[in-house]
Amino acid sequence: MTIPANLLYSETHQWARFDDDGLVTVGITHFAQSTLGDLVYVELPAIGRQVKQQEAVALVESVKSASDVHCPLSGEIVATNVDAVDAPESINDAPYDTWLFRLRPNDPAERAALLDATAYEQAIA
């Protein structure tokens, strides 16, 4: 299982990429999608929504179960990936290339609560 070193991770199996434009791109990890199985449905948050760190903001559903997607940081949702809604299986195929939403973080200090790749690998072992 690949765990990219350039991302940070939440204990609830989301990845966060801190982009050069100051925004954070969020998706679910390989571990999460493999645990869920074949994804068939994705529900994303509304653009402009203010969210809190660890708040359930999206939903992914597989043939086996449904799971909330928690926000790794507090902030404002500024974009969603409609391609993931139209083709949920793309998350199974490429979980680190298929993002769910982007947010403008409110509190940079919250980044300290996220795990680096090594810590995330230990958490799922």
Asked whether residue 3 is domain-assigned, the answer is no
pTM: 0.95
pLDDT digits (tens), the chain, 125 positions: 789 999 999 999 999 999 999 999 999 999 999 999 999 999 999 999 999 999 999 999 999 899 999 999 999 999 999 999 999 999 999 999 999 999 999 998 999 999 999 999 999 99
For residue 76, the domain's CATH number is 2.40.50.100
25 contacts 16 by C-beta, under 8 angstroms: yes
DSSP three-state, residue 73: coil
Asked whether residue 125 is domain-assigned, the answer is no
Asked whether residue 97 is domain-assigned, the answer is yes
Asked whether residue 98 is domain-assigned, the answer is yes
Asked whether residue 66 is domain-assigned, the answer is yes
Look at residue 119 in the predicted model and tell me its pLDDT: 98
What value does the CA radius of gyration of the chain take, rounded to a whole number of Å? 13
Question: Domains in the chain: how many in total?
Answer: 1
Asked whether residue 78 is domain-assigned, the answer is yes
Bridge partner list, 121: none
Find all residues with CB under 8 Å of 48, minimum gap 6, and list them. 76, 77, 78
Asked whether residue 68 is domain-assigned, the answer is yes
Asked whether residue 2 is domain-assigned, the answer is no
Range of the domain at 105: 8-120
